[in-house]
Amino acid sequence: MNTSSRKIDPSEKFINEDVINELLSSTAEPSLEEVEAIIAKSMSKEILSVEEVATLLRINNDEHMQKVFETAKTIKQSIYGNRIVMFAPLYISNYCVNGCTYCGYKCSNEFPRKILSDEELQKEARVLVEMGHKRIVIEAGEDYTNCPVDYITHAMDVLYKTKVDNGALRRINVNIAATSVENYKKLKAADIGTFILFQETYHEESYKSYHPTGPKSNYLYHLTAMDRAMEGGIDDVGIGALFGLYDYRFEVLALMMHRDHLEEKYGVGPHTISVPRIKKAKDVSVDDMQYAVSDEDFKKLVAIIRLAVPYTGIILSTRENAEFREEVVNLGVSQLSAGSKTDVGGYQDDEKMENQFELADHRSQEEIIESLLKKGYLPSYCTACYRTGRTGDRFMQVAKNGTIQNLCQPNALMTLSEYLEDYCDDELKALGNKVIEANIDKIPSDKMRAKTIDRLQRISDGERDLFF
């Protein structure tokens, strides 16, 4: 792909840095009345404005912040209940022509580069399926010679077709570099779930210094990727920022501007927001990063995002350690990765390749599930929305009118039941079945509850892949 086709008119920049800076220039602590008015708005599940989010970010008073945390928990509970959607990343190529200073895969780092063959893709898929995963995110560096988009779509086909006994990967999300409308159309035709791309930092000047070389150094092309994805027919997109590169408050406000832009232009905001925090990597030290985000600030930003976009999924990866993840889940996270590897071919464990960055939650998928179950969470392997075409604005409609409660809860229970039947020992199965029993009553409709009980019996009798 030549770089002239990547020229974007500067007027396309929808992040207004002046507005953000102006909002951040005030440090005045909001009054209790102001905080309570915003909390009331978000309790009625209305999306918060950029200005309201800026007000919440100015909170310094512990009592006021505590109210925000409590609200985040309440909103999370009322929309997502105890459900946590599980997924795993799958690194399929570490070839990269970019020089992103924070990334272990940057082109200046010398180590053997690798792209998975069909056989290796199948092996990785088998391991993931045997772990119980149904939803993955393909990850790859940017290199159109060694890893063109046609390879990515081919890999998706290989992965979707790999079956092991009752299991298969049912939803493949993709996190690859910003690309053209034509390539997004190819990803759509290959049955992509969500197209995920992090802006890294929305602050243009900082973006340029972190991305000195390679096609990714084009801020505007990267920023407008979701527009091209939408034009290419992908209405399910996931945005995010790499926290630690710039002032986290700037990133949160910019994420809200990105949300507003997508809502205004395409009628649907992001399906998910990811909140990765920067980690140590090959030739990347995080020791004296000026904008490192503390745990307290991280909890604050997650809770504020939950209040700001009640229906948007929040994704937390294994970059965070086990204890902290379980704390943050409470504040509004709706999707967790588990048992993750960030090296190419990492699941089959034949030979260890270079990691993109260091992980902090090293527990196995089973250990994570056990821990979630013990705390009363309901791990969900559901992929139904995308497979029934409930994406984009169709998803938002059912989410906002509450119908989703009669779909997500049964689907979570049924996919957990499949997981317990197929991949767990008796002890974990007993624990999981208790959680299923405790959560059946939380299906609002009598009819759907009865249907779910019937389907749980059918799963126990051997049927698979039942969903609403």
Minimum CB distance to ligand SAM, residue 139 (Å): 4
Q: Which of 120, 124, 200, 247 contacts ligand SAM by CB under 6 A?
A: 200
Among 69-77, 169-177, 347-355, 446-454, which window interacts with ligand SAM (CB under 6 A)? 169-177
316-345 residues in contact with ligand SAM (CB under 6 A) are: 319
> Of 178 and 459, which has the nearer Cβ to ligand SAM?
178
Minimum CB distance to ligand SAM, residue 304 (Å): 20
429-448 residues in contact with ligand SAM (CB under 6 A) are: none
Residues 252, 299: Cα–Cα separation, whole Å: 13
Burial of 135 (0-12, 13-18, 19+ CB in 10 A): buried
| Residue whose CB is nearest to ligand SAM in the complex, by number | 357
Among 175-183, 205-213, 344-352, 379-387, which window interacts with ligand SAM (CB under 6 A)? 175-183
Compute CA 418 distance to the chain's CA centroid, rounded to the nearest angstrom: 23
Q: Which of 86, 128, 149, 177 contacts ligand SAM by CB under 6 A?
A: 177
Minimum CB distance to ligand SAM, residue 367 (Å): 22
Q: Based on the shown chain and the rule CB under 6 A, indicate whether residue 216 belongs to the binding site for ligand SAM.
A: yes
Q: Based on the shown chain and the rule CB under 6 A, indicate whether residue 175 belongs to the binding site for ligand SAM.
A: yes
Binding mask 234-273 for ligand SAM (x = CB under 6 A): --------x-------------------------------
Strand pairing category for 167-168 and 163-164: antiparallel
Residues 220, 222: Cα–Cα separation, whole Å: 5
Residues 272, 239: Cα–Cα separation, whole Å: 6
Minimum CB distance to ligand SAM, residue 278 (Å): 4
Q: Based on the shown chain and the rule CB under 6 A, indicate whether residue 354 belongs to the binding site for ligand SAM.
A: no
Tell me the C-alpha to C-alpha distance, in Å, between residue 104 and each of 108, 186, 195, 285: 9, 28, 22, 10
Q: Which of 69, 102, 195, 419 contacts ligand SAM by CB under 6 A?
A: 102
Q: Which residues are bridge partners to 281 per DSSP? A: 284
> Of 55 and 317, which has the nearer Cβ to ligand SAM?
317
> Of 211 and 300, which has the nearer Cβ to ligand SAM?
211
Angle subtended at Cα 349 by Cα 346 and Cα 355, rounded to the nearest 5 degrees: 35
Q: Which residues are bridge partners to 173 per DSSP? A: 137
**356 neighbors 94 (Cβ within 8 angstroms):** yes
> Of 216 and 455, which has the nearer Cβ to ligand SAM?
216
Three-state SS for 102?
A: coil
Minimum CB distance to ligand SAM, residue 95 (Å): 10
> Of 211 and 306, which has the nearer Cβ to ligand SAM?
211
Residues 171, 157: Cα–Cα separation, whole Å: 11
Q: Which residues are bridge partners to 272 per DSSP? A: 238, 313
**405 neighbors 444 (Cβ within 8 angstroms):** yes
Q: Which of 97, 103, 329, 378 contacts ligand SAM by CB under 6 A?
A: 103
Minimum CB distance to ligand SAM, residue 128 (Å): 17
Count residues binding ligand SAM (CB under 6 A): 21
> Of 284 and 407, which has the nearer Cβ to ligand SAM?
284
Q: Which of 198, 291, 324, 468 contacts ligand SAM by CB under 6 A?
A: 198
Q: 355: which residues sit within 8 A by CB, 6+ positions away?
A: 104, 281, 282, 341, 342, 343, 346
Q: Which of 357, 377, 386, 419 contacts ligand SAM by CB under 6 A?
A: 357
Minimum CB distance to ligand SAM, residue 457 (Å): 41
Q: Of 35, 42, 25, 33, nearest to 60 (Cα)?
A: 35
Q: Dihedral, CA atoms, 203, 206, 207, 208, nearest 10 degrees?
A: 130
> Of 167 and 276, which has the nearer Cβ to ligand SAM?
276
112-141 residues in contact with ligand SAM (CB under 6 A) are: 139, 141
Residues 10, 447: Cα–Cα separation, whole Å: 53
267-296 residues in contact with ligand SAM (CB under 6 A) are: 276, 278-279, 281, 284
Burial of 427 (0-12, 13-18, 19+ CB in 10 A): exposed
Q: 294: which residues sit within 8 A by CB, 6+ positions away?
A: none
Q: Based on the shown chain and the rule CB under 6 A, indicate whether residue 197 belongs to the binding site for ligand SAM.
A: yes
Q: Based on the shown chain and the rule CB under 6 A, indicate whether residue 93 belongs to the binding site for ligand SAM.
A: no
Residue length of the chain: 468
Minimum CB distance to ligand SAM, residue 94 (Å): 9
> Of 39 and 239, which has the nearer Cβ to ligand SAM?
239
Residues 189, 414: Cα–Cα separation, whole Å: 28
DSSP string computed for 378-442 = EEE---HHHHTT--HHHHHHHHHTSTTHHHHHHHHHHHHHHHHHHH--HHHHHHHHHHHHHHHTT
Minimum CB distance to ligand SAM, residue 145 (Å): 15
- Residues near ligand SAM (CB under 6 A) are 102-103, 139, 141-142, 175-177, 197-198, 200, 216, 242, 276, 278-279, 281, 284, 319, 356-357
